[in-house]
């Protein structure tokens, strides 16, 4: 039986982690006088290459720092399978 081939396709070019699903949050800047203006809290996203041992090749993911820790903790294959079930990446 041939191993599954992981082809990562970006659904959109948004700032969303492909592993955890983290995305931007909207909040307020609060000045000393308590005046509030809207602002954006962006996730700490990195474009990182990971070595996929089964297919002997690199894959490139846009992941947050928490996503990188998740991959190191659980392994790349298990993390990709979990992200696929969440609908964050496509398996081709």
Calculate mean pLDDT across residues 5-28.
80
Q: How many angstroms separate the CA atoms of 45 and 28, rounded? A: 21
Range with lowest mean pLDDT among 18-27, 34-43, 82-91: 82-91
21: closest CA among 11, 30, 29? Answer: 11
Residue 12 pLDDT grade (very low, low, confident, very high; cuts 50, 70, 90):
low
Q: Are 23 and 16 in contact (CB under 8 A)?
A: yes
Range with lowest mean pLDDT among 3-7, 35-39, 41-45: 3-7
All structural domains of the chain, each given as residue ranges with its CATH number in brackets, are 1-92 (2.30.170.40)
Q: How many angstroms separate the CA atoms of 5 and 14, rounded? A: 24
Q: What pTM does this model have?
A: 0.78
Share of the chain above pLDDT 70, in %: 84
């Amino acid at each position: 039986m041939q191993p599954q081939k992981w082809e990562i396709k970006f659904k959109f070019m948004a700032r969303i982690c492909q592993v955890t699903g983290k995305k931007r949050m909207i909040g307020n800047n609060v000045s000393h006088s308590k005046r509030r203006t809207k602002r954006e809290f962006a996730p700490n996203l990195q474009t990182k290459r990971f070595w996929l041992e089964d297919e002997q090749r690199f894959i490139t993911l846009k992941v947050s720092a928490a996503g990188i820790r998740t991959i190191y903790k659980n392994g790349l294959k298990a993390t990709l399978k979990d992200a696929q079930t969440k609908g964050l990446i496509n398996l081709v």
